[in-house]
Amino acid sequence: MENEFALLNQFLEEMGPEVIGHESLPVTDEQLDLIKRFVSGSLSAKDRESLLPTLIENEQALHDLVAAIKSRQS
């Protein structure tokens, strides 16, 4: 699991400033559930792959991912 977070961290660092320019749409309940399951480590490989475009294209989804990670660390 730590390796997945390291990979995610590397991905987000590489995306850096470009993410700021992406559209911020409301995240659906289904997308939010996928994000929470991803953070908890219970998301299948297929669902992780389907979540990636949402994280790349939607700034709000990235904010929700960071919030979910922070809340899990608290």
Q: What is the pLDDT of residues 2-50, one digit of tens each?
A: 667 776 766 666 665 554 555 678 999 999 999 999 999 999 999 999 9
pLDDT grade for 56, boundaries at 50, 70 and 90? confident
Say what the pTM is: 0.68
Res 15: pLDDT: 60
Instruction: Find the helix or strand (DSSP H, E) in which 70 lies.
Output: helix 59-73
Nearest to 64 by CA among 33, 23, 20, 21: 33
Give the CA angle between residues 49, 44, 4 to the nearest 5°.
Answer: 70
Res 24: pLDDT: 74
Rounded to an integer, the average pLDDT of 53-74 is: 88
The residues near 60 (Cβ < 8 Å, ≥ 6 apart) are: 24, 25, 26, 27
